[in-house]
Amino acid sequence: MVDVGGVGYQVGLSATSLGQIGATGESVELHVHTHVREDQIALYGFVSLAELEFFQDLIQVDQVGPRLALAILGSANLDALRRAVLDGDAAVFRRAPGVGARTAQKVIIDLAPKVASNPSEPPPSPVAGAGEEVSRQVELGLRALGFAPAEARRGIEAVRWDDEPSSEVALAQALRALGR
């Protein structure tokens, strides 16, 4: 319940947003989505605008309503959900109660163009400093060889970056780690 000027509103929150708001009685600022149906009006609140926008994208997916969208948002942080869409990782969505294999695939297929065209931030590189450019080259090489983004990241994480390898050596190490 959110008290606004003496009027109480029931607002649905994801587990993520619920964990970020203060204790009972404290002031809170929420971005609210008003969901109108023939038989009800429901409010859904989010701590961040990015979470609200992802929620609104989710409810556009066939068979994903507001409650299921909240469950999905509560199952992982927003960056992990975006990354799962881009990587085609249905397992991340299946962690949410009520999400089966078909629904997870629908979410990925429907949201992939939206997430790809509106990335929040690129995923952080596992390598800092001078090796970051080599890491990007290795990732591009792995992607050109047909590896999915998640596989490419796994390969990059397996490289011995302390040795400051060239892009060729790093690519060879990543390919060995990926079993090729």
Instruction: Name which of 43-47, 50-54, 146-150, 153-157 the model is least confident about.
Output: 146-150
Supply the mean pLDDT for the chain.
85
Task: Report the DSSP pairing between strands 41-46 and 2-4.
Answer: unpaired
In the DSSP assignment, the letter for residue 23 is S
Mean pLDDT of 118-139: 65
- Tell whether the torsion through CA atoms of 5, 7, 11 and 15 is positive or negative: positive
Domain 2-117 has CATH 1.10.150.20: yes
Residue 10 tokens, joined: 């029931």
Task: Give residue 121's pLDDT.
Answer: 44
Domain boundaries along the sequence of the chain: 2-117, 131-175
Q: Which of 1-15, 101-115, 144-158 has the highest mean pLDDT?
A: 101-115
pTM of the entire structure? 0.62
90 with 117: CB under 8 angstroms?
Answer: no
Q: Is the pLDDT of residue 125 over 70?
A: no
